[in-house]
Amino acid sequence: ETGVTQSPTHLIKTRGQQVTLRCSSQSGHNTVSWYQQALGQGPQFIFQYYREEENGRGNFPPRFSGLQFPNYSSELNVNALELDDSALYLCASSPGLAGDLLAETQYFGPGTRLLVL
């Protein structure tokens, strides 16, 4: 039990639609990262937020966007869904920022499985 929760657990959307996935981090965890895990692959880094500001981004297009709120919750928004967006989306939180050893352990939620038809 990591204390990180995600909702919904499963979601089905059609191509072109928009989706919002939600994550609730542990209290005190100021950093949240989002990962996309396609079937049979390792997770791929999407982006990271620290204290409500984007702190780094992977190789994902701008239609992937995020928000982080002061209450340790966060959102991943994906616009104009494509079939290849079908994946397990994981959020991970940590208590600090790079350079702080406490921050180097990320605690993952159970994920949201998105299917785009």
Contact in structure between 19 and 114 (CB atoms under 8 Å) = yes
110 binds other proteins per the rule CB under 8 A:
yes
Task: Closer to other proteins by CB, 2 or 7: give it.
Answer: 2
Q: Which stretch binds other proteins (CB under 8 A): 11-19, 45-53, 60-68, 70-78?
A: 45-53
What is the Cα Rg of the chain in Å?
A: 13
68 binds other proteins per the rule CB under 8 A:
no
| Residue among 101, 104, 99, 103 nearest 28 (CA) | 103
Task: Closer to other proteins by CB, 98 or 115: give it.
Answer: 98
